[in-house]
Amino acid sequence: MQHNAIQLPPLNALRAFEATARLSTLAAAAAELNVTPSAISHQIRTLEETLDIRLFRRANRRLSLTKDGRTLLPGLTDGFRRLTAAVAELEANQREGSLTISMLSTLAMRWFMPRLPRFQLEHPEIEIRISTTARTVDLEREDIDIAIRHGHGVWPSVHAEKLFQLETLPVCSPELPRPGTPLNSPHDIERHVLLHADARPDDWRMWLDGVGEPHIKASRELTFDTTDFALAAAIRGLGIAIADRHIIQDDLDSGRLIAPFETSISHDSGYYLVYPSKRASHPKSVAFREWLLREAAVG
Amino acid sequence: MQHNAIQLPPLNALRAFEATARLSTLAAAAAELNVTPSAISHQIRTLEETLDIRLFRRANRRLSLTKDGRTLLPGLTDGFRRLTAAVAELEANQREGSLTISMLSTLAMRWFMPRLPRFQLEHPEIEIRISTTARTVDLEREDIDIAIRHGHGVWPSVHAEKLFQLETLPVCSPELPRPGTPLNSPHDIERHVLLHADARPDDWRMWLDGVGEPHIKASRELTFDTTDFALAAAIRGLGIAIADRHIIQDDLDSGRLIAPFETSISHDSGYYLVYPSKRASHPKSVAFREWLLREAAVG
DNA sequence: TTTTTAATTGAGAAAATTTCAATTAATGTT
DNA sequence: AACATTAATTGAAATTTTCTCAATTAAAAA
């Protein structure tokens, strides 16, 4: 009926004995275990009674191990060392160890990855693992520590902190506007190819609504799985993509992309940093979140 | 201030987690630890809260380990296995292992040792160690499991069971009575050498008092440290020794010694089997005591 | 559908642990 | 030699931990 053939005596009594035997005095053991010597004395007595074996010889005012006590000690010391090591490993892992972060691939590629080296410089002890998926992941089930999600900041059983508001605008290669096919006003779009992302099918429509030209129709359209591909296509001069300002900022800065029009559309949704309430206080999680919020504030 | 850098979470919580993780269900862990599943559930919750780390994923009505839980488990399993092994070793030692028996050397040589092989046949798993000393030993201090003591059966903090009453009688070599120096009545002793033992200086006087001849004086006297030596001398024909009937029985049976007179003196003291109350119930101790009492009853 | 199985929860009960204050006894100190 | 110190022990009471019970949720099996 019982998996372990032998029934262990009370664990705390074993620990009290182990500490006392190792340190030779009740006082020292008591200090190690944060209790009074009296408590230790009671525990040892309990253990001796449970086992029905005398472990210490009480001579003068000093304790010395009996043969049985000497038999028992090393195994216990070793056992408790193991337990301590196991817990210590877990806690070290908590402080340092790896941090798994989930986000959509476009954000990972265009915004997160370029910034990541700065975090790794600040916290070389934290190993980052990036998990990119299209769907919204269950943080608990997938062992995700932190996620960046797009939405309105309301999800069940997680904490959410806003990184930035979504703000989309058209971009294209600097080579795209040519003398015959300029891009000076939204109307010029009609002579160009519009690049769409399946994941965000409404971005173009919302932008055109925003500039007051809902009826503009492009000469051709191209659709990709993700914004990431649409942007890659834009860089290669295949047409005009539309994406969030944060995501394209680096490409704009480097000149790979230009924003032919001033107008950007502010959405009511945004990118949120999301994490399970349970892991909110873990040092590596806190460090990462603070860093990410700083990065988001910069741009 | 603290020897162990890390403070262990409650040991019972660790054990509850370990069992549950190893056996996959609360019910199984509860059975192993002889508690209800509810208790296990509380313990695991306590552990998770103490560590501030989620160890199980609660999906459906099934538990599965998180990455952290998987990190923690093997170390704990190992640690508890070691603790269990240490205690098991001690308990096996208690059942079998060695049994240290203290007694005076004469008794050991002349009464105990000849009988010992029979015990070893019955209990080959118990290793006997015989400790012979002249003085009365402190059982606790010397790690003695059982002693055979001479006295009146009253000693502090030990159990005592009577083996046999002391009953002394004179013995000598069968060669000793010669035509010129017979041994037919106590008076004949005057023509012989009396062999004494320092440890029991009054035995001869008490015997002579007992036979109503307190004034008999031997031609010569020889004194040894112990009765054992006196008997060895008697066997070699050096004179007449006096000793307890049980001790010399084997020598009488084998014909090495004879008892020239019928009269033996019953003393009010005797040999007692003595053991610390604390070890009274240990199987190997019980087995030995039962055997020894049987042997003593036979003779 | 109903029944069973598994885990969880909260409250109260039970058990274990700890402290406190008093005691014993040996060791240093003056 | 008297006195203060140090160490362990003890019993009773207080505290904390652990456990059970009964109720609840929810999925799986019949």
pLDDT at residue A3 above 50? no
| Per-residue pLDDT tens over the stretch B88-135 | 999 888 888 788 899 988 899 899 998 999 999 999 989 898 888 776
Yes or no, beta carbons of B141 and A9 under 8 Å apart: no
Closest-CA residue of A relative to B140 is A57
Distance from CA of A31 to the nearest CA of B (A): 7
**For residues B57-72, average pLDDT:** 88
Q: What is the CATH number of domain A11-95?
A: 1.10.10.10
> In this complex, do A54 and B278 lie within 8 Å of one another by their Cβ atoms?
yes
Residue carrying structure tokens 């004494």: B196
Cβ-based burial of B249 (10 A; exposed 0-12, middle 13-18, buried ≥19):
middle
Residue type, B28: A
* φ, ψ for residue A115, nearest 5 deg: -90, -25
Specify the pLDDT at position B194. Answer: 93
Alpha helices in chain A (DSSP H): 11-23, 26-33, 37-51, 67-95, 105-107, 113-122, 139-142, 203-210, 227-235, 245-254, 283-298
A54 inside 8 A of chain B by CB: yes
B233 CA to centre of own chain: 31
Is pLDDT at A93 greater than 90 in this prediction? no
Cα separation of the two ends of chain B: 63
A59 CA, C27 C1': Å apart: 13
Domain ranges of chain A: 11-95, 98-299
- Of residues A158 and B13, the one with the higher pLDDT is B13
Structure-block tokens of residue B180: 């010129």
Q: What angle do CA B47, A42, A16 make, to 5 degrees?
A: 50
| pLDDT above 50 for B4 | no
Question: Which residues sit opposite B42 in a β-bridge?
Answer: none
State the nearest Cα–Cα gap between B99 and chain A, in angstroms: 12
- Integer-rounded Cα Rg, in Å, for chain A is 32
Query: A53: closest CA among B74, B278, B34, B164?
Result: B278
Structure tokens at A29: 């053991």
Q: What confidence tens digit (pLDDT) does each residue in B76-89 have?
A: 999 999 999 999 99
Predicted confidence at residue B5, as pLDDT, reads 42
pLDDT at A224 over 50: yes
CA atoms within 13 A on the CB side of A78: 14
* Residue-level pLDDT at B79: 97
Beta strands A158-171 and A240-244: pairing type? antiparallel
Residue B6 has a pLDDT of 58
B2 inside 8 A of chain A by CB:
yes
- Confidence class of residue A140 from pLDDT cuts 50, 70 and 90? low
Per-residue pLDDT tens digits for B255-283: 999 999 988 889 889 999 998 776 777 78
Task: Indicate the angle between helix axes A227-235 and A245-254, nearest 10 degrees.
Answer: 20
pLDDT of residue A263: 85
Which position has the higher pLDDT, A21 or B284? A21
Measured CA to CA, the distance from residue B174 to residue B196 in angstroms comes to 19
Share of chain B above pLDDT 90, in %: 58
Half-sphere exposure in the Cβ direction for A270 (13 Å, CA): 15
Residues 57-96 of chain B with CB under 8 A from chain A are 57, 59, 66-68, 71-72, 74-76, 78-91, 93-94
CB contact under 8 A, A87 and B8: yes
Interface of B with A in 201-260 (CB under 8 A): none
Partnered with residue A123 across adjacent β-strands are none
Q: Are the C-beta atoms of B238 and B154 separated by less than 8 Å?
A: no
Q: Is the pLDDT of residue A159 over 60?
A: yes
Closest listed residue to residue B144, CA positions, set A104, B166, A283, B155 = B155
Footprint of strand C, using CB within 7 A? Answer: A 10-13, 16, 30, 33-36, 38-39, 42-43, 46, 60-61; B 24-27, 37-38, 41-42, 44-45, 56, 58, 61-63
Are A84 and B57 an interchain contact pair (Cβ–Cβ within 8 Å)?
A: no
* CATH top class, domain A98-299: alpha beta
A131/chain B closest Cα distance in angstroms: 15
Question: What is the pLDDT, as a whole number, of residue B299?
Answer: 67
Question: Which amino acid, one-letter code, is at B220?
Answer: R
**A48 chain-B contacts, CB cut-off 8 A:** 278
Instruction: Give the model confidence (pLDDT) of B199-228 as tens digits.
Output: 888 899 999 999 888 888 888 899 998 899
**Three-state DSSP class for residue B282:** coil
pLDDT digit string, tens, across residues B132-160: 877 667 776 677 889 999 889 887 767 89
pLDDT of A97 above 90: no
pLDDT confidence of residue A289: 95
The CA–C1' separation of A14 and D2, in angstroms, is 42
Phi, psi for B244 (deg, rounded to 5): -70, 145
Q: What pLDDT, on a 0 to 100 scale, did the predictor assign at position A61? A: 78
- For residue A167, what are the contacts with CB-CB under 8 A and spacing of at least 6? A244, A245, A246, A264, A265, A266, A267
Q: Read off the tokens for B140.
A: 């606790």
Distance from CA of B162 to the nearest CA of A (A): 24
Read off the pLDDT band of B62 (50, 70, 90).
Answer: confident
Residues B164-194: pLDDT tens digits?
999 999 999 999 998 888 888 889 999 999 9
Asked if B71 and A57 come within 8 Å (Cβ–Cβ), the reply is no
- Percent of chain B that is helix, strand, coil (3-state, to 5): 45, 25, 30
Query: Nearest nt to A11, CA vs C1'?
Result: C16
pLDDT at position A43: 97
The protein footprint on chain D, as nucleotides within 7 A of a CB, is 6-12, 17-23, 25-28
- A30-73: pLDDT as tens digits: 999 999 999 999 999 999 999 988 899 887 778 899 989 999 99
* Residue whose token pair is 């549950």: B20
Among A80-89, A203-212, A223-232, B185-194, which range has the highest average pLDDT? A80-89
B262 half-sphere exposure, CB direction, 13 A CA radius: 0
How far is the C-alpha of A105 from the C-alpha of A9, rounded, in Å? 54
Which CATH architecture describes the domain B96-299?
Answer: 3-Layer(aba) Sandwich (3.40)
- The answer to whether A272 and A153 are in contact (CB under 8 A) is yes
* Measured CA distances, B93 to A3, A41, A93, A233, B143 (Å): 22, 25, 40, 78, 14
Q: What are phi and psi of B170, to 5 degrees?
A: -75, 145
Q: Which of A1, A18, A83 to mutate to test the interface with B (most CBs of B within 10 A)?
A: A83
CA atoms within 13 A on the CB side of B76: 24
pLDDT at A105: 87
What is the mean predicted confidence (pLDDT) over A242-254? 93
Task: State which of A4-18, A146-160, B31-45 shows the largest mean pLDDT.
Answer: B31-45
Interhelix angle for A283-298 vs A113-122, to 10°?
130
Predicted confidence (pLDDT) at residue A7 exceeds the cutoff of 90: no
